[in-house]
């Protein structure tokens, strides 16, 4: 089996997931919609990861319509799905939910009260195998201006203080994270240099928080990705 990775913008790639796949000898392919390439078939992959980007799942571009159709096809064919940020919003939109402007634009490590962004797992989240080995409160990095209303049949696994719907699940193996758990060191420093919203923040504070939280943050991301790969029936060390 191999994994499909969907990039919506080059700098928002798989991050620490790439190392996990390599360590476990799991093959993967990278796809970008809107490039004229053949649409990936769910029959060819054991799991799909869709990462973030600056677009909206509400866009009417050919690229986004193509992506929404493909994601829905993968999920309805029960291919394990993991969406991050835009990837989560695409999942919700494809399954009949709503993507809308967030009440608060969540950016960086700290919320409007200058506290590290936290997600609290719901009862369903605490009992889900994706979070085996983790505490019920997770610290996370945020970079989004939209949020979601989940459709009927989708479970809420994690809640935030400002944007409530932070982690969602559909069926037995389709997950969406509004926040980012995938950041590698290289990605983090690229983002704080290139992203317009992050550029508005105190770069020194972003860097200081990252250095304090990095070990914990990467451990959480690694545990979640490993658990997802196990749920997807991949062999993980």
Evaluate the CA torsion angle 191, 192, 198, 199 in order and state its sign: negative
What one-character-per-residue DSSP string does 15-45 give? THHHHHHHHTT-EEEEE-TTSSPPPPPGGG-
Quote the CA–CA distance of 35 and 38 in Å, as a whole number. Answer: 9
CATH number assigned to the domain comprising residue 203: 3.40.50.880
Helix (H, G, I), strand (E, B) or coil at 6: strand
How far, in Å, are 109, 118, 141, 160 from residue 106 at the CA level? Answer: 9, 11, 9, 10
Alpha carbon distance 89, 84 (integer Å): 8
**Domain interval for residue 227:** 2-231
What is this structure's pTM? 0.97
Question: Of the candidates 181, 161, 165, which has an alpha carbon nearest to the alpha carbon of residue 92?
Answer: 165
What pLDDT score was predicted for residue 11? 85
Q: Pinpoint the alpha helices (H) of the chain.
A: 16-23, 62-76, 86-94, 123-126, 185-194, 196-199, 203-231
Residue 112 lies inside a defined structural domain of this protein: yes
Distances (CA, A) of 155 to 165, 170, 204, 217: 10, 6, 37, 24
Number of domains observed in the structure of the chain: 1
Query: Given this model, what pLDDT does residue 116 score?
Result: 97
pLDDT < 70: residue spans in the chain:
none
Please give the pLDDT value at position 192.
Answer: 93
- Judge whether 236 lies within some domain: no
First to last CA, the chain: 16
Instruction: Give residue 237's pLDDT.
Output: 87
Domain assignment of residue 237, yes or no: no
Which pLDDT belongs to residue 70? Answer: 97
- pLDDT of res. 117: 98
């Amino acid at each position: 089996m191999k994994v499909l990775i969907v990039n919506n913008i080059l700098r928002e790639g798989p991050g620490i997931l790439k190392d996990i796949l390599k360590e476990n000898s799991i093959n993967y392919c990278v796809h970008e919609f809107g490039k004229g390439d053949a649409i990936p078939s769910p029959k060819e992959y054991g799991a799909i990861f869709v990462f973030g980007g600056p677009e909206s799942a509400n866009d009417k571009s050919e690229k986004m319509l193509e992506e929404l159709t493909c994601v829905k096809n993968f999920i309805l064919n029960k291919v394990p799905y993991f969406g991050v940020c835009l990837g989560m919003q695409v999942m919700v939109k494809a399954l009949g939910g709503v993507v809308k402007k967030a009440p608060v634009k969540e950016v960086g490590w700290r919320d409007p009260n200058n506290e590290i962004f936290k997600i609290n797992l719901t009862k369903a989240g605490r009992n889900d195998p994706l979070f085996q080995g983790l505490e019920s409160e997770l610290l996370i990095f945020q970079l989004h201006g939209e949020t979601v209303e989940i459709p009927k049949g989708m479970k809420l696994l994690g809640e935030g203080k400002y944007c409530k719907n932070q982690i969602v699940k559909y069926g037995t193996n389709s997950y969406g994270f509004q926040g980012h758990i995938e950041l590698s060191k290289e990605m983090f420093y690229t983002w704080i240099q290139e992203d317009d919203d992050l550029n508005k923040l105190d770069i020194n504070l972003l860097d200081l928080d990252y250095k304090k939280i990095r070990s914990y943050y990467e451990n959480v991301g690694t545990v979640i990705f490993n658990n997802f790969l196990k749920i997807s029936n991949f062999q993980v060390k």
